[in-house]
Amino acid sequence: MGWYKNQQARYEAKKAEQPHETLRDRRTRVDAQKSARAAYRAAVRDAKPAGQPAPSTHGRSRPEIVCPQCQTKGSVSVESVKRKTGIHGGKATAALFTGGVSLLATGLSGHRATTRAHCNNCKSTWEF
């Protein structure tokens, strides 16, 4: 018996804390939640690319790499990117001189995987 009374008392106390909300209150609250969510989504969307990406989103951190630009260790992050390899005209000629080995290794068409590194210290980006 005592247990039930206790529960009842708790329930009453809770009810007193949170007065019954009217339908209008509820609508206002739901609208507020909706616009808050929309604002959050817009913020997330706007926070992405558009110029310099945030350092934390730029690939994986590689503390052992030394930046060739500013010689700083520990500020470099890398990500894998795919490059289109061209076999036409000047591009193919350039590839023969500069990237001939990798071109032969991966074939004459398609995508070549490369690693893009970014230094958060001097903001430079390079590939290797």
Nearest distance from C-beta of residue 76 to Zn ion, angstroms? 7
Q: Which distant-in-sequence residues (6+ apart) come within 8 Å of 77 by Cβ?
A: 55, 58, 59, 60, 61, 62, 117, 118, 120
Neighbours of 30 (CB within 10 A): 10
From residue 120, how far is each of 48, 50, 114 by CA, in Å?
Answer: 17, 17, 19
Q: Are the C-beta atoms of residues 86 and 92 closer than 8 Å to each other?
A: yes
* Collapsed DSSP state (helix, strand, coil) of residue 16: helix
Q: Between residues 61 and 69, which has the closer beta carbon with respect to Zn ion?
A: 69
Stretch that binds Zn ion, among 5-13, 26-34, 107-115, 119-127 (CB under 5 A): 119-127
Nearest distance from C-beta of residue 99 to Zn ion, angstroms? 24
Q: Between residues 69 and 114, which has the closer beta carbon with respect to Zn ion?
A: 69
Nearest distance from C-beta of residue 61 to Zn ion, angstroms? 14
Q: Does 103 interact with Zn ion (rule: CB under 5 A)?
A: no
DSSP 55: G
Taking residues 61 to 90 in sequence order and writing x for each that binds Zn ion by CB under 5 A, - otherwise, the string is ------x-xx--------------------
Q: Does 121 interact with Zn ion (rule: CB under 5 A)?
A: yes
- Give residues 5-64 in contact with Zn ion (rule: CB under 5 A): none
Distance CA 94, CA 71 (A): 29
Binding-site ranges for Zn ion (CB under 5 A) = 67, 69-70, 119, 121-122
